[in-house]
Amino acid sequence: MNIEYVAFYQSQKVFREDSGIRYYGKIKEIKRYKRSECKEIPCEKGSEEEKYLRIDFEWIKEIPKIEPIQYGHK
């Protein structure tokens, strides 16, 4: 994958006045793995073979908020 940066969108429904893009980070590494290989969160029975991505960051920074824009809503 040729992705260098990720921006984090916080929804209006959950974050209210803090919604929008407030953080972004530089990707250090992206790993593909099976759900059963995850050490941080216990695996539910039946999901062991599901494929996941793990993104490790070099850094994550807070930025001035980028306001959400509602396209396609009436």
pLDDT reading at 4 higher than 80: yes
CA torsion, ordered 40, 51, 22, 56, to nearest 10 deg: 60
DSSP string, 31-48: EEEEGGG-SSSPPPTT-T
Round to whole Å and give the CA distance between 63 and 20.
11
pLDDT digits (tens, 9 = 90+) for 40-73: 888 889 889 999 999 999 999 999 999 877 664 4
% residues pLDDT > 70 (the chain) = 92
- Who has greater pLDDT, 36 or 59? 59
pTM for the model: 0.71
Between 24 and 11, residue with greater pLDDT: 24
Look at residue 73 and tell me if it is in a domain. no
Number of domains observed in the structure of the chain: 1
19 lies in which domain range?
Answer: 5-66
Using the structure block, give the residue that is written with the tokens 């793995």. 33
More confident residue, 68 or 17: 17
Tokens for 32, please give them: 């593909």
